[in-house]
Amino acid sequence: MRTIKTRTIMTKSDQGNRWFGIDYHMNLYKGCPFGCIYCTSRCEAYHITNFDEVKVKENALEILEEELKSKTKPGVVSFGTLSDPYNPEEEELRLTRRALELINYYGFGVSIDTKSDLILRDIDILKEIASSNSVIIKISITTFDDEMASKLEPKVISSTRRFEVLKILRNNGIYAGVLMTPVLPFLTDTEENILNIIEKSHDADAKFIYTKLGVSLKTNQKDYYFEALDRLYPGLKDDYIAVYGSKQFCNTLQFRYLLELFLKKCSEYNILTDMNDIIKDYKKEIPQNEQMSLF
Ligand code: SF4
């Protein structure tokens, strides 16, 4: 495992907290070993060389503490937009764990994207943060079918285990749901898959499911995906090329039908699907005088 130094760790969200109410993004690790064939973090725009090798930002916690201290207004800090914060190295290094402790100490909220059950180790600190601040956990699930998941996400725990993780988080009172992204045309865009994910999310008491019903395919990330398709599903790449050409975002072919089905079923189970509704539901407003007393 390689270590690298960083000069900054938190970056202000360029989406003005429209994406899950996130105020700051942070990646304690660079690269991710989970091998998802569709991963958008492989895009050259993110400048991550040897993406499958995890690099540890060795001074991340010092910088994080300085940055948390210097902010005049607390907000929600996102872990894991470009790399899973619970990669196997985290078990020993505990960088994510220690960052959560700092976030708790300085009165910030947290948003975590993960496909790992290692998050369960940190339930205690997540509960502590949630007692006074905003916490949202997104468990990423693209297919209910464990066999397909083992092809699409070869080094990730099974989808069945991910639903169990979600249930344990919910049983502990932590706000959590499913990030059903991407939805892969010709592979996971079936009625059976979508309905099964909704059923299993409901069984796990998910607060939300968020999806865009499509996949983003850009530059070298697209090349990586197509190479994987050639290996795993020979001939499928040609279908993509025939239907989508050079499009950078590929909506599922039955977009309207699947969207209506998705919204109807989620609404029957009171599972939120709209970004604004999810933000309103989980994000706590910190009263101004309480904010001031933290600094
Ligand atoms: S877990 Fe997330 S960051 Fe890691 S390879 Fe999969 S999609 Fe990419």
Average pLDDT over residues 77-90: 94
Inter-residue contact 102 to 64 (CB < 8 Å): yes
Average pLDDT over residues 242-262: 96
Residue nearest to atom 6 of ligand 1 (CA): 36
User: pLDDT at position 290, please?
Assistant: 52
* Sequence ranges of the domains in the chain: 2-282
Could you identify the atom of ligand 1 that is nearest to the CA of residue 42? 8
Crossing angle, helix 123-130 and helix 95-105, to 10 degrees? 20
Select from 48, 113, 115, 143 the residue to mutate for testing ligand 1; criterion: most ligand atoms less than 8 Å from CB: 115
User: pLDDT at position 287, please?
Assistant: 53
Q: How confident is the model at residue 227 (pLDDT cuts 50, 70, 90)?
A: very high
Lowest mean pLDDT, pick from 10-24, 152-166, 171-185:
10-24
Coil/strand/helix, residue 168: helix
The two tokens of residue 246 are: 């050079």
Could you identify the atom of ligand 1 that is nearest to the CA of residue 38? 7
Crossing angle, helix 219-232 and helix 236-244, to 10 degrees? 140
Inter-residue contact 126 to 170 (CB < 8 Å): no
Average pLDDT over residues 192-208: 98
Report the candidate in 8, 2, 81 with the shortest Cα–Cα distance to residue 41.
81
Cα(248) to ligand 1 centroid in Å equals 19
- CA triplet 145, 233, 139: central angle to 5 degrees? 35
- From CA 110, how far away is CA 24, in angstroms rounded? 9
Chain segment 103-155, per-residue pLDDT in tens: 999 999 999 999 999 999 999 999 999 999 999 999 999 999 999 999 999 99
- From CA 193, how far away is CA 186, in angstroms rounded? 12
Cα(71) to ligand 1 centroid in Å equals 29
Cα(289) to ligand 1 centroid in Å equals 39
Lowest mean pLDDT, pick from 4-18, 28-42, 247-261:
4-18
Cα(276) to ligand 1 centroid in Å equals 25
Report the candidate in 30, 233, 46, 22 with the shortest Cα–Cα distance to residue 147.
233
Mean pLDDT of the chain: 94
**Pocket of ligand 1 from Cβ distances under 6 Å:** 32, 34, 36, 39, 41, 83-84, 115
Q: What's the fold here for domain 2-282? A: TIM Barrel (3.20.20)
Could you identify the atom of ligand 1 that is nearest to the CA of residue 114? 1
Cα(13) to ligand 1 centroid in Å equals 20
- From CA 109, how far away is CA 77, in angstroms rounded? 6
Name the pTM for this structure: 0.95
Could you identify the atom of ligand 1 that is nearest to the CA of residue 40? 8
Residue nearest to atom 3 of ligand 1 (CA): 83
User: pLDDT at position 69, please?
Assistant: 95
Could you identify the atom of ligand 1 that is nearest to the CA of residue 34? 5
Chain segment 36-79, per-residue pLDDT in tens: 999 999 998 888 989 999 999 999 999 999 999 999 889 999 99
Average pLDDT over residues 189-215: 98
CB-based contacts of 243: which residues, under 8 Å, 6+ apart? 185, 250, 253
Judged against a pLDDT cut of 80, whether residue 271 lies above it is answered with: yes
Q: How confident is the model at residue 226 (pLDDT cuts 50, 70, 90)?
A: very high
Bridge-based pairing state of the strands 176-179 and 135-140: parallel
Tell me how crowded residue 248 is: count the other CB atoms within 10 A of its CB. 11
Average pLDDT over residues 204-233: 97
Q: How confident is the model at residue 284 (pLDDT cuts 50, 70, 90)?
A: confident
